Amino acid sequence: MKKIDVIVDEQKVGELFYEQDKNSYGFNYTTNHKPISLIMPYRASTYNWKYKLHPIFDMNMPEKSMCVPISHLKRLAQKW
């Protein structure tokens, strides 16, 4: 399971992850700092979404032309 930190106002508020065996995405808040969205207020349990990203995350994905540069930066960061 790979995780991505979700940051609001320069503070980590949660983790977005994908579970391949369940083919689902999930999000867990790690702190009650600020909600990432009005439709996703803080809660201790996981927000699950089957087969695709929750629309809140999907709408913030970069355009296709930016996906390659971002993935390239990720590989560079892993080398450091």
Per residue in 30-48, pLDDT (tens digit) is 999 889 889 899 999 999 9
C-alpha closest to that of 47 among 30, 21, 29, 23: 29
Residue 29 confidence (pLDDT): 95
What percent of the residues of the chain are helix, what percent strand, and what percent coil, each to the nearest 5? 30, 35, 35
Q: Give the distance from CA 23 to its chain's centroid.
A: 15
Q: In what helix (H) or strand (E) does residue 66 lie, and over which residues does it extend?
A: helix 64-79
pLDDT confidence of 58, banded at 50, 70, 90? confident
Rg for the chain, CA atoms, rounded: 14
Task: Give the N- to C-terminal CA distance of the chain in Å, as an integer.
Answer: 22
